[in-house]
Amino acid sequence: MTALSRLALVLAGFLAFSAFAQVPATVPAVEVLPSGQVRDCPDCPLMVTVPAGEFRYGTPPEAHEADPATGETPAWPVALAKPFLLSRSEVTVAQYRAFATATQHTVEARCQAFAGGWVVEDGMDWQTAGEATLAAASPDLPVTCVSWDDARAYVEWLSTTTGQKYRLPSELEWEYAARAGSAAARSFSGRDAMAEQWDATLCDNANVLDQDAIESYPPRLLGRWQANCRDGVAGLAMPGRFQPNAFDLVDLLGNAREWVQDCQTTSRTGAPLDGRAWEWSGCTLRGIRGGSFLSSPAAVRSAARERAAASLRAFDLGFRVAREAVKP
């Protein structure tokens, strides 16, 4: 090889190296989360660590707002020995869509909505439930019009996808998280609903039946007990619009009602008191907690309980997810 040939090869190599060096390396984006928060995949809910602890589940019979008919009395001592993870907000439309797309999970487009009374709306499903016009719901709104069975299918997919143990929270876990260390009826205030309806604190912390909702829904709502304040939104609100509780969780009270894992009756006699869900073979009624934007203030309490058939889909009913915590 001549000296000229060798020089040409060296020059070509130099030019090739220079061109390569000018191409920036592609570095995948890494989501940096605060301590105690976890997101197991890009489409997964943001999870917050809820510490172990003890609390009184339910309401003392003498409490002004106690509703014995639902089984919330008496108050039971509960001890949660281990921390767990709970989604910071309700599962969103976008997060649910990732599951529905991956699994081809479909549901009948029939969902209960409020129009002067609860009626089944043909054409309404989880993709349209956030908008009264049946337009596409915002991807960041809480997903609603999902049954308990739909929610269970989602957590099973999430567990398979991430390799973590996801599930619906138990009633005990849900109430412990909603209280966030408070023994009051609501984590953000010790005042009862009669006082709260005159207090803007309610509209700062929970999306309940308020003056904005009253003006946007049929007149029959006017006969219901509403909050005498405005939160600036008549229906579902985006996660994070209202103040988080002491565990940094949002919308446990108000916004969308939430499914929990438990079978539910009006008696807690014989139920576990260690955080586990209470279930038995053949149960058809599942627990619902938290109240919604259509719930009177008295129904938006940490201890307030509802139940419904596992097949129910309603436009103010969604869910959040729990996950076993990594060993501390």
pLDDT in tens, 222-248: 556 788 899 999 899 999 899 999 999
Give domain status of residue 280, yes or no.
Answer: yes
**Phi-psi region for residue 116, left (φ > 0), alpha (ψ -120 to 50) or beta?**
left
In this predicted structure, the answer to whether residue 100 has a pLDDT above a threshold of 90 is yes
Q: What is the CA radius of gyration of the chain?
A: 24
In the chain the first and final C-alpha atoms are separated, in Å, by 67
Q: Which CATH number does the domain housing residue 179 bear?
A: 3.90.1580.10
Domains contained in the chain, number = 1
Question: CA triplet 259, 206, 166: central angle to 5 degrees?
Answer: 30
Amino acid identity, residue 145?
A: C
Residue 221's pLDDT is what? 55
Give domain status of residue 177, yes or no.
Answer: yes
Q: What is the pLDDT of residues 138-160, one digit of tens each?
A: 999 999 999 999 999 999 999 99
Residue 135's pLDDT is what? 55
For residue 268, what are the domain limits?
31-324
Residue 259's pLDDT is what? 98
Strand-pair category, 305-309 with 166-167: unpaired
Among 189-198, 255-264, 314-323, which stretch is predicted with the lowest mean pLDDT? 189-198
Q: What is the pLDDT of residues 107-145, one digit of tens each?
A: 889 999 987 778 899 999 999 886 554 456 799 999 999
pTM of the model: 0.87
Give dist(CA 219, CA 210) in Å, integer. Answer: 13
Give dist(CA 45, CA 270) in Å, integer. Answer: 33
**Three-state secondary structure call for residue 59:** coil
Mean pLDDT, the chain, whole residue set: 86
Q: Encoding tokens for residue 277?
A: 């869900």
Residue 136's pLDDT is what? 67
Nearest to 146 by CA among 102, 104, 112, 98: 112
Give domain status of residue 14, yes or no.
Answer: no
Q: What is the pLDDT of residues 18-58, one digit of tens each?
A: 443 444 444 445 577 888 899 999 999 999 999 999 999 99
In this predicted structure, the answer to whether residue 90 has a pLDDT above a threshold of 60 is yes
Arithmetic mean of pLDDT, 290-300: 92
